[in-house]
Amino acid sequence: MRRSGAPRLCVVTEVVDLTPRLRRVRFRSDDLVGVESVSPAQRATIVLPEGRTFGPEGVESEEYAGARRRRRTYTLCDLDPAAGTAAIDLVRHGEGIAGRWVERVEPGDEFVLSGPMGKFHLDPSHTRYLLVADETALPALREILAQLPAGASAEVHVEVADEAEKIDLPSPATTDVTWWLHSEHDGDTGELVGRLAPHLRTAGPGVVVWVGAEAEAVTTLRTHLLTEAGVERALLDAVAYWRRGRAER
């Protein structure tokens, strides 16, 4: 098995819009062959070139060596160790380096990937889940749901902009999905997750909880889950996917 953290030169093979705001970038790398998944919500770090490629020297190029400011982290989806293929899903918000890249990316473009990495794992002995995500964590949520064991149940809350941003969330488990739409509620992007406390039904001892959203919303919800809802700290994984006021997501 190849080392998961090594930098790998990847070539984009397909660009697909899953929703008006969520774009999937599929890619391939010979260096991904044999790389196994490490977590249902696994992440990878990507480094973007100034142009479309890093040139013939790839990860040995001077541009890659100086490209740390263009390093971004995303959920790694659909990893196929046999084919050396995977995908990342990016929210189209038009800001910053990654925002501009996702608008122009096309097959043949290159980037460098390091990963996968992740610490969230599924224990077959746990059968009750509470999962909360905003649009930036939707790819990770989808990966988690796809890998839940049959016989498990999951209460799911998802914050997105409007009806057009809903996607299918298939799972072997029994799921109860509630979509929270900005178009139907006051507040900025990311704020709804922080207001979900009164609507959570499953939280309590023995429930595995995963939260992925804006940093302040994650902190608010995490505090409620631990102090008011009786969630066990060892069963809670709350991840800040972005921070309000920063351009990159």
Number of Cβ within 10 Å of residue 13's Cβ equals 14
CATH code matching the domain that covers 8-117, chosen among 3.40.50.10260, 2.40.30.10, 3.30.70.1520, 3.40.50.300: 2.40.30.10
Residue 130 confidence (pLDDT) above 60: yes
Query: Which secondary structure element, helix H or strand E, spans residue 216, and what is its range?
Result: helix 215-227
- pLDDT score at 1: 47
pLDDT digits (tens, 9 = 90+) for 162-191: 999 999 999 999 999 999 998 777 656 567
The mean predicted confidence, pLDDT, of the chain is 90
- Alpha-carbon distance of 58 to 61, in angstroms, equals 5
Where exactly does CATH 3.40.50.80 map onto the chain? 128-242
pTM for the model:
0.90
Q: What is the pLDDT of residue 135?
A: 94
Residue limits of CATH 2.40.30.10 in the chain: 8-117
CATH number of 128-242: 3.40.50.80
Render pLDDT for 51-101 as a digit per residue (tens, 0 to 9): 888 877 777 777 777 776 678 899 999 999 999 999 999 999 767 888 899
User: Whole-angstrom Cα distance, residue 15 to residue 182?
Assistant: 26
CA distance 93 to 9: 25
115 touches 39 (CB < 8 A): no
DSSP state at residue 225 = H
